[in-house]
Structure 1
């Protein structure tokens, strides 16, 4: 499989496992399965991994997994901003947030790294195994069934439509999953009242404000420091982007600079709405992760909101649990529906528990009566209770955010020999 050539129209390819979606869940799973000797193909519909709205937050639980795989030092070269705690700014007052120095992990901090660099790193190491391929610009369009068994996927690739037949198809194609629509699974929506406007704001190197979230006058701004610019997110009422555009760019720029005046110069460079991306926030889960020959993980199984920045890390935990539970059985060519259900049995409880935590945060932050254009509401009572119990909350929040409710560890063996493999 190492001498990869883009499939031709009409090709029929066979593999042990086909993973649909080249995000954190899909690539981490592909890497672990290939490392364990399982023949695996990962499908990614885009030509590369470069998309601004991907999550950047890598938590101690994920850093621990990379340590266990021996790739931590390499990853830290692309994630040079380390934070052993997170701060927030509320109405001009700096508020200490969760801290991670007490966690039982190799890295007692979180990092912010462009997700495309993280994915490229995973793809590079996975491609060292001859039993791994990633097909770029290859979009899964339909499941292939034989009776009630999923036996593969139809794919629209560079050269036309082809088929991949496999013992297992894993849907890791995110919250907009094509496969879960085709599979007819039930999606339970939690009803989120906000969206995020995602944009870049240039900054000088002297501006070293590492505050992640700012709340001022009923509005909230997220800023992720990427050196010479902030990747920024402005929280808005769900469905209100058209109204904001109607007010004009000048009013939008003022909203941002009012929250953080130091960004006024950088915000002035936003001269077109094309530079502002709408990220529609979803919080949902499916009730049935497994069908014969088919498994859903990551955002395809449970779409998370940005609260806590946990989405990437939950997806990776899903991938590790899936590999731990299924790698040996895939290697032997015997995977049953009961085997697949074990993944849901293990990973659904921490996912739903995390979503309940996010719903609570949404209700406290965005659930009150607020003026148009001002989606954030912090009650006096909530602030008082948070202040009284801050030391306990900070420590516990650090554990929940940093580790999650059920951290996984690498249990799969390394069976496959490494060799140089081409990446397309």
Structure 2
């Protein structure tokens, strides 16, 4: 069976859903394909940064978003070797409507976007529908092959947007290969209970005796990333060794590590940092992790993916309404988003080199002493990393065609 739409978006994550919503509000016929039956995946990126919160306000979804169960991170800091705490980024100093990072289950965020998008007559969301290949015609991508419910089909389109993540099949089918950058660690995610006022509002990585852990405060629990040297198989070392490593970094968790019953309670993330040189082929555009996988440092992956989506919809809505998109028009998306992506990845690589690698090598138990001294002497400087973390280098705003009045919660 062959069908047709103007734009098919592969992947129903934040990048894909924001793209679909904005294009539909522009009157573009758009279909989003999501291979899973729902959005319920644990340990996905759950951070929604101030710039994305502003975007949601512009889309008329701010009130509905803030009605979702969430926690708020207003600052990030590091423990110092003398037992103190050094605030690195003070988001409360930002002059924005929402000066914090909202921690919200990604499935709630995606459900909110899907609910709003499905009000648009030109929007279609197909769950349990997996792209299996690309259609080509006269030297350009002309749509996708898909499988749904055991049935194969074809969906022809003027444009395919690959928003299917760091292991993107659409990217691979288009013979686009990202350049990989060195990343010294992998992440092991788990959740553990949290006291009522424990860790409120502060993101505090823990570094001690070669161990590195990042507890993210959530409602009723911590979502913890334990970082290990790249390629190290912690499963092979066993559950008890893993518990001991976590307690070495986070002694306050010693009384609750039995909440981890097996290593199946720990989810592995193969951390990648990469970027495509070219983000498009004729008829296809990669955005989000499909164009540039980000390190989990700063939790900025969702923010960058959403910014890509806004830029793509803003630049491509008119060409899609006219009935076709040229390669030159697709290249404009990369041109607009490349510098912010490179700068963020450059900062992440700097932190890998100056913080993560020395800590895991046993050379330090915290950030560089020069950084501690500078921020200790000039605490107002904490607004600079806060702005880089919370807003980024080129925040995108909703185009006029996508803006709506606030929907009541």
TM-score by length of 1: 0.89
2:18–2:113 contact (8 Å) kept in structure 1: yes
Q: What is the rounded CA distance, in whole Å, between the counterparts of 1:267 and 1:181 in structure 2?
A: 40
1:367–1:377 contact (8 Å) kept in structure 2: no
Q: What is the rounded CA distance, in whole Å, between the counterparts of 2:368 and 2:294 in structure 1?
A: 28
1:152-163 aligned within 5 A: 152-163=143-154
* Cα displacement (A) at 1:375: 9.5
* Cα displacement (A) at 1:367: 3.0
Q: What is the rounded CA distance, in whole Å, between the counterparts of 2:134 and 2:314 in structure 1?
A: 25
Q: What is the rounded CA distance, in whole Å, between the counterparts of 1:369 and 1:75 in structure 2?
A: 37
Q: What is the rounded CA distance, in whole Å, between the counterparts of 1:376 and 1:134 in structure 2?
A: 49
* Structure 1: stretches of 5+ with no match in the other structure: 1-10, 417-424
1:143 equivalent in structure 2: 134
1:114-133 aligned within 5 A: 114-133=105-124
1:15–1:39 contact (8 Å) kept in structure 2: yes
1:196 equivalent in structure 2: 187
The answer to whether the aligner puts 1:347 opposite 2:332 as a matched pair is: no
* Cα displacement (A) at 1:79: 4.7
Structure 1 SS opposite 2:108: helix
2:190–2:267 contact (8 Å) kept in structure 1: yes
* Cα displacement (A) at 1:263: 2.1
1:20–1:171 contact (8 Å) kept in structure 2: yes
Structure 1 SS opposite 2:308: helix
The answer to whether the aligner puts 1:223 opposite 2:215 as a matched pair is: yes
Which residue, out of 314, 322, 336, partners 2:326?
336
2:302 equivalent in structure 1: 312
Structure 1 stretch displaced more, 245-254 or 58-67: 245-254
Figure out how many residues of one structure are paired with residues of the other and give that number: 402
Structure 1 SS opposite 2:159: strand
2:246 equivalent in structure 1: 256
1:403 equivalent in structure 2: 391
The answer to whether the aligner puts 1:233 opposite 2:221 as a matched pair is: no
TM-score by length of 2: 0.92
Q: What is the rounded CA distance, in whole Å, between the counterparts of 1:96 and 1:404 in structure 2?
A: 19
Which residue, out of 95, 103, 111, partners 2:102?
111
Q: 1:322 to 1:379 in 2, by over 3 A?
A: closer
Stretches (4+) displaced over 4 A: 374-390
The answer to whether the aligner puts 1:75 opposite 2:65 as a matched pair is: yes
1:75–1:118 contact (8 Å) kept in structure 2: yes
Which residue, out of 179, 184, 187, partners 2:178?
187
2:270 equivalent in structure 1: 280
Structure 2 SS opposite 1:70: coil
1:46–1:137 contact (8 Å) kept in structure 2: yes
Q: What is the rounded CA distance, in whole Å, between the counterparts of 1:78 and 1:129 in structure 2?
A: 22
Q: What is the rounded CA distance, in whole Å, between the counterparts of 1:383 and 1:69 in structure 2?
A: 38
Q: Deviations over 1:142-161 (max 9, x none)?
A: 11101211100001112321
1:358 equivalent in structure 2: 348
* Cα displacement (A) at 1:200: 1.3
Q: 1:346 to 1:415 in 2, by over 3 A?
A: closer
Q: What is the rounded CA distance, in whole Å, between the counterparts of 1:296 and 1:386 in structure 2?
A: 40
* Cα displacement (A) at 1:376: 7.0
1:196–1:281 contact (8 Å) kept in structure 2: yes
* Cα displacement (A) at 1:209: 4.6
* Cα displacement (A) at 1:272: 1.0
1:299 equivalent in structure 2: 289
2:407 equivalent in structure 1: none
* Cα displacement (A) at 1:386: 4.7
Q: What is the rounded CA distance, in whole Å, between the counterparts of 1:85 and 1:360 in structure 2?
A: 20
Structure 1 SS opposite 2:212: strand
